[in-house]
């Protein structure tokens, strides 16, 4: 916002600092001066006023008040004041009637009538002041209203009384379909959300935004009605946005201004108009002000102020600072002030606001930097969050995408919601898999492969637990088993093995898994989840892990063993076993017979079919042989492998396929 240095100087009876020094001072105390430049015999200060101070500092008066407080100068708020002289023979109510229909949107409306005016050019000093601030001169009456707005922050508007139908001014919302042509000849279509100033028949101004063309002031104007009102900031903001119309008036009203400023400003404008345009100020201020705004009263505890600012400011210094800013101090007792807040300081409502005012005028640079006295205690680790983050990182590294689904489903579940938001989603999910399958279904046509996982709550038997579940397209059982192996390895979980899953009809998993290609995942004797192909779609494989068990078993400790520098040898072995034989039984025999030179055994296939007699199943293993101190010879590997075969065939129901 643009301010005139000479104009600011007019409020003081002593010399202000030079423009650049004044700009530096204001910048140090919560304002930012973006530019200082010379314009003719004046200087322009482009000051960025923050929104919380717009109510009082979108005006020369407000900036001058701030400068006075910072410099400790005497401040004359009524610079150049002239006495208001009214013509007692004329009554304002005999000239015009005012009706405010939308009282909540117009807390105050004041009007004055000035008769026998002569509209014409403004004096040079007035033109110069307006020009410095970026406004063009129109005529002496309009210019006077704009001048007072720039000085006080209160927008005003002048109407030609003779052009108002029935000599009425009505504050109301526009009717649907009404139109108005503004002073700059723009035509606007209005609706019921736009607040207007109207006469008996039509809108004559867009309230708080722009005046209308019809009652504008021109050379024929003899009697004017001067308006100084206060409008609801949100109504003006919405109207300005809807019409895409901004003005100096709307800028001020949008940020909210003091209703008590309306009378001060209209009196200043009336005096100035009578001085430069002649005319008589008709007696009586027409004033609609149903709910008067009074100063707020706040208690200020200086001990609290000291603890908040971190510095002890003398009592008299606090009192002096607040007084310089226009606050009134009453009942000073035991370091507690009763502070009366002037109505123009709309931003001050609590004790902390007063303390901020004291701090900024005193100078934040005078407050020493000290270390906090409180000890900083790190929060206790939350294992749920810690291991959840690690698991999510592991899956992202393996190319998975995390899914987030609602905890509700439309399929029948064990827990029904008492007050569902939708009848289609009345049940809490007992498994994460159904929603993940819907995710796959929606996206399968766009990707060659989808790998998604979810970490979330499920609800079974009126209890809830956290599950880690994933669904993969385009991967077989054994590749997904490899993914599980990597997960457990990164979590530091040992003794992981995969057991045959024998389902019963009442098992909750029976409807999900293809049990010919599925397995229970166990850690020692603890079952932690399931892995396998999905029953209804063999293209999809899934895992379903109990996250609460995983986080209990996981460890950050890592055991590092040196990698053998000698090559490994891999032999495959297939065993026919009865259908109820568990994989664990076969693995135990292989590992025991193989001894320390068998470093890993990997099940890579389970097959049951018509080709295999007696309903048996075929288990196929990779057996990896390696020594730490030498390269194993083919004879050594052969002997160990034969020992394993011999041990397996000791069970008469098992047959090693050769």
Residue-level pLDDT at 132: 94
Helix boundaries (H) for 136-260: 140-152, 233-243, 248-254
For residues 156 and 145, the answer to whether their CB atoms sit within 8 Å is: yes
Whether residue 126 is found in the same domain as residue 270 = yes
Residue 441, burial from CB neighbour count under 10 angstroms (0-12, 13-18, 19+): exposed
**What tokens appear for 352 in the block?**
């902390």
d(CA 511, CA 205): 73
Residue at 78 is within a domain: no
d(CA 149, CA 142): 11
Q: What is the CATH number of the domain that holds 151?
A: 3.50.40.10
Of 271, 288, 305, the last residue of a domain is 288
Chain centroid offset of residue 579 CA: 60
CA-based torsion, 360, 365, 368, 373: positive or negative: positive
Q: What is the CATH number of the domain that holds 51?
A: 3.30.56.10
Of 365, 398, 413, the last residue of a domain is 365
Whether residue 31 is found in the same domain as residue 132 = no
Residue-level pLDDT at 80: 47
Whether residue 63 is found in the same domain as residue 152 = no
Partnered with residue 42 across adjacent β-strands are 39
Say if strands 537-546 and 526-534 run parallel, antiparallel, or are unpaired.
antiparallel
Residue at 377 is within a domain: no
Residue at 80 is within a domain: no
Residue-level pLDDT at 508: 56
d(CA 167, CA 242): 30
Residue-level pLDDT at 502: 62
Whether residue 110 is found in the same domain as residue 144 = yes
Q: What is the CATH number of the domain that holds 603?
A: 3.30.70.380
Whether residue 107 is found in the same domain as residue 256 = yes
Residue at 21 is within a domain: yes
Residue at 311 is within a domain: yes
Whether residue 210 is found in the same domain as residue 357 = no
Residue-level pLDDT at 194: 96
Residue at 218 is within a domain: yes
Contacts of 155 (CB under 8 A, 6+ apart): 149, 208, 228, 248, 249, 252, 253
Tokens 């009865």, located at residue: 578
Whether residue 31 is found in the same domain as residue 102 = no
CA-based torsion, 36, 39, 42, 46: positive or negative: negative
Whether residue 484 is found in the same domain as residue 507 = yes
Whether residue 256 is found in the same domain as residue 141 = yes
For the chain, list residues with pLDDT below 50.
79-80
Q: What is the CATH number of the domain that holds 455?
A: 3.30.930.10
Partnered with residue 522 across adjacent β-strands are 497, 527
Residue at 562 is within a domain: no
d(CA 236, CA 251): 9
Whether residue 117 is found in the same domain as residue 184 = yes
For residues 63 and 40, the answer to whether their CB atoms sit within 8 Å is: no
Of 239, 258, 288, the last residue of a domain is 288
Number of domains making up the chain: 5
Which of 276, 268, 281 has the alpha carbon at shortest distance from 140? Answer: 276
Whether residue 593 is found in the same domain as residue 539 = no
Residue-level pLDDT at 31: 87
Task: Spell 208-238 as b/e; 16+ CB within 10 A means b.
Answer: bbbbbbbbbbeeebebbbbbbbbbbbebbbe
Q: Enter the pTM of the model.
A: 0.62
SS3 438: helix
**What tokens appear for 626 in the block?**
């390696």
SS3 359: helix
Residue at 371 is within a domain: no
For residues 132 and 44, the answer to whether their CB atoms sit within 8 Å is: yes
**What tokens appear for 435 in the block?**
């929603």
Whether residue 311 is found in the same domain as residue 277 = no
Domain that holds residue 310: 296-365
Residue-level pLDDT at 230: 97
């Amino acid at each position: 916002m643009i301010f005139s240095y000479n104009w600011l100087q007019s409020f003081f009876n002593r010399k202000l600092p030079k423009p650049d020094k004044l700009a530096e001072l204001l910048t140090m105390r919560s304002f930012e001066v973006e530019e200082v430049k010379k314009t003719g015999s004046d200087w322009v200060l482009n000051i960025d006023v923050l929104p919380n101070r717009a109510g009082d500092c979108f005006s020369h008066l407000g900036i001058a008040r701030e400068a006075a407080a910072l410099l400790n100068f005497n401040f004359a708020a009524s610079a150049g004041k002239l006495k208001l002289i009214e013509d007692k023979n004329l009554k304002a109510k005999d000239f015009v009637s005012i009706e405010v229909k939308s009282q909540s949107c117009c807390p105050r409306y004041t009007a004055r009538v000035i008769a026998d005016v002569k509209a014409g050019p403004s004096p040079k000093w007035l033109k110069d002041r307006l020009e410095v601030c970026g406004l063009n001169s129109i005529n002496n009456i309009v210019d006077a209203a704009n001048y007072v707005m720039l000085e006080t922050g209160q927008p005003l508007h002048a109407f030609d009384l003779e052009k108002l139908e029935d000599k009425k001014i009505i504050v109301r919302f526009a009717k649907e379909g009404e139109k108005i042509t503004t002073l700059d000849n723009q035509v606007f279509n209005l609706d019921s959300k736009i607040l207007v100033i109207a006469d008996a028949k039509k809108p004559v101004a867009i309230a708080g935004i722009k005046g209308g063309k019809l009652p504008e002031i021109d050379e024929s104007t003899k009697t004017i009605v001067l308006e100084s009102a206060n409008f609801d900031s949100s109504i003006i903001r919405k109207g300005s946005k809807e019409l895409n119309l901004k003005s100096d008036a709307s800028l001020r009203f949008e940020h909210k201004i003091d209703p008590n400023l309306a009378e001060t400003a209209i009196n200043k404008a009336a005096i100035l108009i009578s001085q430069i345009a002649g005319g008589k100020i008709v007696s009586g201020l027409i004033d609609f002000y149903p709910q008067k705004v009074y100063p707020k009263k706040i208690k200020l505890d200086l001990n609290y102020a000291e603890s908040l600012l971190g510095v002890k400011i003398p009592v008299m210094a606090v009192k002096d600072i607040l007084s310089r800013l226009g606050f009134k101090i009453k009942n000073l007792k035991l370091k507690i002030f009763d502070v009366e807040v002037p109505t123009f300081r709309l931003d001050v409502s609590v004790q902390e606001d007063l303390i901020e005012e004291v701090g900024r005028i005193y100078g934040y640079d005078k407050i020493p930097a000290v270390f906090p006295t409180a000890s900083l205690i790190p929060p206790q680790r939350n294992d749920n969050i810690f291991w959840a983050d690690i698991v999510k990182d592991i899956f992202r590294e393996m190319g998975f995408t995390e899914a987030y689904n609602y905890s509700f489903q439309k399929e029948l579940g064990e827990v029904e919601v008492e007050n569902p938001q939708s009848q289609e989603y009345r049940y809490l999910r007992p498994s994460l898999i159904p929603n993940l399958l819907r995710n796959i279904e929606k996206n399968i046509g766009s990707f060659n492969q989808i790998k998604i996982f979810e970490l979330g709550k499920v609800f079974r038997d009126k209890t809830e637990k956290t599950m880690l579940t994933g669904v993969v397209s385009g991967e077989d059982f054994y590749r997904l088993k490899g993914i599980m192996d990597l997960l457990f390895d990164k979590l530091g979980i040992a003794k992981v093995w995969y057991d045959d899953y024998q389902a019963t009809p009442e098992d909750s998993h029976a409807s999900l898994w293809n049990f010919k290609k599925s397995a229970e995942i166990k850690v020692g004797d603890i079952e932690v989840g399931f892995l396998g192909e999905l029953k209804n779609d063999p293209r999809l494989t899934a895992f379903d892990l109990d996250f609460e068990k995983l986080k209990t078993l996981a460890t950050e400790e890592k055991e590092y063993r040196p990698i053998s520098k000698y090559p490994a040898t891999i032999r495959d072995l297939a065993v026919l076993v009865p259908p109820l034989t568990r994989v664990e039984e076969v693995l135990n025999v292989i590992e025991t017979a193989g001894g320390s030179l068998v470093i890993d055994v990997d099940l890579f296939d389970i097959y049951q079919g018509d080709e295999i007699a007696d309903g048996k199943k075929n288990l196929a293993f990779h057996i990896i042989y390696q020594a730490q101190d030498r390269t194993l010879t083919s004879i050594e590997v052969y002997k160990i492998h034969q020992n394993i075969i011999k041990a397996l065939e000791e069970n008469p129901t098992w047959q090693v396929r050769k």
